[in-house]
Amino acid sequence: MRHLTYFCCGQVVRCFGCSSTQLVIPTANFPLQVVDNLAADIYTGIYYGWATFGSEDVHKMVVSMGWNPYYKNMKKSMETHIMHTFKEDFYGEMLNVAFVGYLRPEKNFDSLESLISAIQDDIEEAKKQLEWPEHLKLKEDNFFHVPKSKIMNGHC
């Protein structure tokens, strides 16, 4: 597996599975082009780290990167849950994320309830991990403060 921290950015798009509606856990989704261009040594699974979009503050996040076996996705996706309540959606905004740590591989679940429970556990574990000093310092990385004029077509 690639050494973390791993930085990625892209424009937020509407999901193709819309699993976040069923899960009641909102996600910001990257376009397939961004997912397809991820480094080959990034394993599928659940990661935690930091995220921001536009001129917003940097927030804790978890990201599911993979095939979402419960939903039987035909395309790999990257769905970011930002641990913050936003007043409105931010489709079309540039989302910057930094993968700081790896929680677990992706897996299938026998029920929606068990999937939701696992996601909630992932969120709680990510919150704890992100309080470690070595992870907190990454919240201030220059990557999150790049002027929009420096970002071209999703390339950071």
Cβ pair 97, 61 in contact under 8 A: yes
CB within 8 Å of 80: residues ≥ 6 apart: 27, 28, 29, 30, 51, 61, 62, 63, 95, 97
CA 91 to chain centre: 15
Contacts of 140 (CB under 8 A, 6+ apart): 58
Please indicate whether residue 79 is annotated as part of the active site. Answer: yes
Among the options 79, 113, 125, 131, which is catalytic?
79
Amino acid at the residue 53: F
Instruction: Catalogue the active-site residues.
Output: 79
